[in-house]
Structure formats: C-alpha cells, structure tokens
Amino acid sequence: MREGVRERKEREWRGGVYLCTAKTSFEADILESKLRSENIPCVKNYRGASNFLEIAMGANTTIPIEIYVPKELLEDAKNTIVAVSLDDCEPVEFEGDD
C-alpha cells in the first residue's frame, strides 16, 4: 500500500524529519550541499539498490532519495531549497565582462 504525502512528511528517520525527495543522486548532492552551506545538517535515505547504484555506477538516476533534516530546522530547510526562477534574478556583472 502506498503511503500518502501527509504521512510521509510526518515520518522520522535517523533523528530527522522528511524534507523532500530527490530524483537522482546528483540532485540529492546539490540539496545536501545547499543545506550544509546554511548549517542545516541532513541525511539521505537511499531506497532499495540506490546506494549500491551510486557506488557501482558513480550515480543513481533511477531510484529517488529522501532527504531528512532535524525537526527544529525543518522550516529553515524548506526556505533554503525554495526554487527561484532565473527570470526573477538580476544579472551579475563580473570584472572582465564586456
């Protein structure tokens, strides 16, 4: 039986609560890096053979990976990973750009 989104969001694992699901190991690594840069620890929950695939093949592109964070930092984590449209960003000028 498939569990509902509400049940999954309330689920705890290894001292953390569910934040989101990454589609690939690359996406999970980006989320982990962003969270850790904001001093928010996180744990990746690999399903099935996904951890093996990442080790053996160098990446997991088939099995989703769940991300968990400490309960007291859940709202901060949600605010950290909010997607921002690039159309809403102002261009940045770097030295040497002509």
Confidence of residue 1 (pLDDT cuts 50, 70, 90): very low
Confidence of residue 14 (pLDDT cuts 50, 70, 90): low
Burial of 92 (0-12, 13-18, 19+ CB in 10 A): exposed
For residue 11, is pLDDT > 90? no
Domain that holds residue 27: 5-81
pTM, 2 dp: 0.66
Taking only the tens place, the pLDDT of each residue in 77-91 is: 999 988 777 777 787
In a domain, 94, yes or no: no
Q: Cα separations (Å) of 68 from 8, 48, 71, 94?
A: 11, 17, 9, 36
pLDDT, averaged across the chain: 78
In a domain, 90, yes or no: no
In a domain, 95, yes or no: no
* pLDDT for 61: 58
User: DSSP state, 3?
Assistant: P
Taking only the tens place, the pLDDT of each residue in 26-57 is: 888 899 999 999 999 999 887 765 555 566 65
Burial of 35 (0-12, 13-18, 19+ CB in 10 A): buried
CATH code of residue 24: 3.30.70
When divided into structural domains, the chain yields a total of 1
